[in-house]
A and B are shown apart, each in its own frame.
Chain A
Amino acid sequence: MARIVIEHLKYKYPGTNKLALDDISFTIEPGEFIGIIGRNESGKSSLCQAIAGLIPNFYKGAYGGKIFIDDMEVKKVGVEELCETVGIVFQNPFNQVTGSKLTVYEEISFGLENMGIPREEMIKHIDDAMELLDISKYRDRYPFDLSGGQMQRMAIASIIAMKPEVILLDEPTSQLDPQGREEVFQAVQKLSKQGITIIMVEHNMEKIAAYSDRIVLLEDGKLIDIDTPQKIFSRDDLDEYGVEAPVYTQICRELGLKDRSSGYYPITLEEAKRILSGDRKGEM
């Protein structure tokens, strides 16, 4: 499984003078679920695209530091090789459809054909991915005729079928309606149970708090903190970074209710409930 090591990563887009990523270092263990939060333009998407190798190989520009996926150095292997290990899903489901295939089934095959996977194996990968993302019933539909949520799940399936060890999700729900969002969240939850490393940028703090093992907090291209959701969302200075803690955390903060064993505020409904009922027990 892939271990990701980021060392002093710096990046400037071509034609700009400002560092989009400014001296970022941290390590991600295999199988972790990492959430990335921060205000708009804080470098979340750039960080994702750097791990996927699109920065610098697609955009060019100015680059410093190193990212390793196991012993592969991202900058030195092309995106075409890296994509077999690291997959990425973007915001806009429409623009991720290749526009060269006539059915959902064929659409998912696109990456596998390019990788040169033998046909029998390809069919198995596609079937597995469709099953996992619950889109088998749209198998013969024209890709552009799907709803936003279905299309985004197809995009995820297209990446999953390539059997990556790491999958990056860059705000995959931001352009979807509430139903589409829920569909994608459920798919992501299923994925994380498969044991692959997931790195997700997401504005829904309740979801990101519930899913993540650790959270990366970015501001102005710099790494502010990387820690468990409890610790991150218990910080007093979240406002400064344009981040709102999950609603359960906010309520418990107002009420002054911390988890006694850890000393942090709860981040999910379940934790909040447990602490509330525990407190009541304590009073009795």
Chain B
Amino acid sequence: MSKKLWSLKFNTATLVLIPAAIGINYLGKLFASLLKLPLWLDAIGTCLAAVLGGPIIGAVCGAVNNIIYGLTLDPISTVYALTNIGIGIVVGILAYKGFMKNLKGAILTGIIVGIVAVIISTPLNIYYWGGTTGNVWGDALYAWAVSQNMPMWLASGLDELVVDVPDKLAVVILVFIIQKSLPKNLLNLFHNNEEVESLD
């Protein structure tokens, strides 16, 4: 089974899932800014793809997502592909381990994913932006922490944490709800390497 989890052979349905997931990411981001929500909600598709197709597909979604942003609207976001790859892998593994079967597991997944995102993003924030994120709440916390003589990595980590953990929690819970209401015959399509049974 673990071989299947890390399989690099993608069937067509799984490949087509990638652009759909990236479209969903984008839509989440659009609606979040339309409703002026204090969250990004731009990883719904990546997490869904990871739940449906496994960690590799999740990682590919995360990578392609940011490369495309980088090539169109926001070059700097390319480096944050690393964060989204991490998110995809972690959600994929946790879903495979059965964490996404109930709400409690989903909440736990959301928190873990949030922390993983913080761990990957913070060094990038420090290198490229001197530690801030551009999010008002997070940056206010950063300014406070620095003025309290906390080291930059801690201030920057906190800055990212207050944004990322609630964001990923909301995303994963939403993914949990959607995944529960998907028709079963659709879920079967994304399982790679199944064999045809014989009726003869």
Contact = CB atoms under 8 A, between A and B. Distances in A.
Direct contact of A and B (CB under 8 A): yes
Contact of A15 (B13, B188, B200): B188
Interface stretch (B100-108, B113-121, B158-166, B190-198): B190-198
Contact of A62 (B19, B188, B197): B197
Interface residues of A, number: 19
Nearest to A11: B199
A75 B196 contact: yes
A63 B199 contact: yes
B36 interface: no
Contacts of A56: 196
B198 A63 contact: yes
A214 interface: no
B12 A65 contact: no
A12 B12 contact: no
Nearest to B11: A58
Contact of B197 (A58, A61, A65): A61
Nearest to B20: A99
Given A58-B12, A99-B19, A64 B198 contact: yes
A60 interface: yes
A12 B188 CA distance: 13
A10 interface: yes
A60 B188 contact: yes
B185 A62 contact: no
A14 B188 contact: yes
A138 interface: no
Contact of A65 (B184, B185, B189, B200): B200
Interface string A70-104: 00000100000000000000000000000100000
A63 B19 contact: no
A-B pairs, top 3 by smallest CB distance, nearest first, are A64-B199, A62-B197, A60-B194
Interface of B: 12-13, 19, 184-185, 188-189, 194-200
